[in-house]
Amino acid sequence: MSELIDDFDRRIKYVRISVTDRCDFRCVYCMSEEMTFLPRDQVLSIEELSLVARAFTELGVEKIRLTGGEPLVRRNIDELVSNIGALEGLRDFTMTTNGAQLRRYASSLRQSGMQRLNISLDSLDPERFRELTRTGNLEKVIDGIRAAKEAGFERIKLNAVILKGRNDDEILDLVDFARHEEIDISFIEEMPLGNVSEHSRQETFCSSDEVRSIIETRYPLLSSAENTGGPSRYYRMADSASRIGFISPHSHNFCDSCNRVRVTCEGRLLLCLGNEHSTDLRSVIRQYPGEIEPLKQKIRESMSLKPHRHHFTTDGDVQIVRFMNMTGG
């Protein structure tokens, strides 16, 4: 089996595949309130997405995460999960979701081979939650988290994007909720993708170090060697099985160990979250329908485009004009 190795000798073991740019939320840091979504013929079909996943596993990728938009609003998502869950060589199959559809889907996802879930949760206050998501219902998300627990997922992790002045006063409440539910939580520095109108990123930026300092006023954090193959740096608490993770694209750049690439729902292979370096896989897939070797060759050739690092700023200078929903989770 050939492996994917970039020009900096990093082995690509993890691919994040966006299945849709659509979402039932409109989170303030992810997209604008009025969005124009892609025409359906520009989005990869379930069969095409399945082929992409198979190609990557045959090239040595061991971890696949499905993202969106919101992946659970994609029609026939259960068919795609079943196809990917059956792939040989896949050791870690996960999804990032807003949780609102999990009461309906959690059991079937687990039965189809999905092992873990990341669920976005930025506030435990119903009114604030609706403000941050513009359309979200907190009660449905909490119920979805519990549905995922009932379905028997190996690990469930909350993702919380912390914005100063908007939800940084809930950091300890979110930790307490994770502890009570016996699940993990990662705190994420806002990614500067797309022009947002709800807030100034420079004013709302809250570093992982600040979040960690707040947590340690109540819970001393112990270093952990655990690694899920993603960008989170994990810590433990002496009196809880819940792990605390930090994803720090600004303050603690994780590029040297980056083992990830992304595929957008329209079939663009993004070699870096913070750069526009990309390759059009859709054209190859549709030129050679159902054929995997041309697709694998295109993926191999693309590794030379993966840059050494990203360069994010918080001063309003948006290097990446695409929104997070277009990027994929």
Question: Which residues sit in the known binding site?
Answer: 16, 23, 27, 29-30, 65, 69, 96, 120, 157, 191, 255, 258, 260-262, 272
Integer Cα distance of 260 and 95 in angstroms = 15
CB 131 within 8 A of CB 98: no
Which of 146, 93, 92 lies closest to 119 in space, CA to CA?
146
User: In the numeric block, which tokens belong to residue 92?
Assistant: 């870690």
User: In the numeric block, which tokens belong to residue 214?
Assistant: 């707040």
Detail the residues annotated as belonging to a binding site for [4Fe-4S] cluster: 23, 27, 30, 255, 258, 272
Detail the residues annotated as belonging to a binding site for GTP: 16, 65, 96, 157, 260-262
CB 247 within 8 A of CB 232: yes
Detail the residues annotated as belonging to a binding site for S-adenosyl-L-methionine: 29, 69, 120, 191
Cβ neighbourhood burial of 253 (10 Å; 0-12, 13-18, 19+) = middle
- 31-39 contacts: CB < 8 A, separation 24 or more? 31/194, 31/323, 31/324, 31/325, 32/194, 32/195, 32/196, 32/197, 32/323, 33/134, 35/323, 35/325, 38/265, 38/266
Give whole-number Cα distances, 173 to 185, 217, 248, 306, in Å.
12, 13, 21, 39
